[in-house]
Amino acid sequence: MATIRDVAKKAGVSVTTVSRALNGYSDVNEKTRERIKQIAQELSYSPNLLARSLVMKKTKTIGLLVSGLRIEGSKDNFTFEVLCGVNDCAGELGYELVLISTDSKKQQEKTYKQLCKERKVEGVILQGIKTDDPYLDEVLNSEIACILIDVPMESDSVGYVTTDNIAGAKTAVEHLTKLGHRNIGMVNGHSQAFVSQERLEGYKKALGKNGIRFNENYVVDGAFLEETAEQVTTNLLQKHPEITALFCASDLMAMGAIRAAKQLGKNLPDNLSIVGFDNIILSSYCTPSLSTVAQNRYQLGVEATVLLTNILEGKTAEKSKVLPTEFIKRESTTENHG
């Protein structure tokens, strides 16, 4: 590879001049600049970003740090779609993207800071972290710029982006109440997830607004897993056969719930209405197709990138963003003919 020195030599100028010419400084004659550009092209010179970063102390690189990047993620595609958004947006804004994945094992070895410093990222987008994750404290107390996905916490250097889970859940449950359902169960994720707390809150709000008393026995946790959701739903429906509708905190768990209901001989949606959350691909292909509240995961990635680069470039702007949801009616919900 041609270096800046080669270009300088061939052009008969100093290294300094080549650097300043190529970087658009004004203290170089336009004619020499053109000549240098020409020669740079001939030698197909392109600056060594390592050397540049080393001296400038800037890498123009952001990291997408995902905790638990696993093949299982392909069922809901959350990570992938966020990744697409981050990737597109980062490219647009002139940043490179490196993928950093950790798991609990790796986290024992390396601290968050080490991970970031080592990979020389200027800032980080963090996805898949739980509320009880030890990294979370580190993130909040670190000076590294960071945007959290679905964890609403802020500090000087950290912001977040999330979906309006409360409103989304409320809409979903009110859809059920409008259909005449009164005994509405909920299959939640787990208590270490902010989104679970919020979706539960939305559920309660919708009940309250419609004069339905909250019954804690109607709420079970499915760990955001299809199989677990299937089991807990089976239990729930057996214990409380009066339930005519279910709100699931994720579409994937709704799949499990559907299987559970079918297993119990229920006719869907006549015996049981089910609404999910996420609008994953599966939800429009399963039978019955799933009414759900859609969240835009791609946009989540885009907004996270925008917020992060704002911080990095010292722009004074909001450090958080909450995206709206959209309710999608499909076949899995219908009037209560109790």
Pick one of 14, 23, 114, 191: the residue that binds a copy of itself (CB under 8 A).
114
Residue 285 touches a copy of itself, criterion: CB under 8 A: yes
The token duo for 285 is 């292909």
Which of 272, 286 has the CB closer to a copy of itself?
286
Residue 255 touches a copy of itself, criterion: CB under 8 A: yes
Residue 5 touches DNA, criterion: CB under 7 A: yes
**Partner interacting with residue 99 (select from DNA, a copy of itself, none; CB below 5-8 Å by kind):** a copy of itself
Minimum CB–partner distance for residue 77 and a copy of itself (Å): 4
Residue 54 touches DNA, criterion: CB under 7 A: yes
Residue 71 touches a copy of itself, criterion: CB under 8 A: yes
Residue 53 touches a copy of itself, criterion: CB under 8 A: yes
d(CA 15, CA 28): 12
Minimum CB–partner distance for residue 87 and a copy of itself (Å): 6
Residue 69 touches a copy of itself, criterion: CB under 8 A: yes
Q: Which range in 17-25, 82-90, 149-157, 206-214 contacts DNA by CB under 7 A?
A: 17-25
The token duo for 83 is 């990744």
Which residues would be at the binding site for DNA (CB under 7 A)?
1, 3-5, 12-17, 19-20, 22-23, 27-30, 32, 45, 47-48, 51-52, 54-57
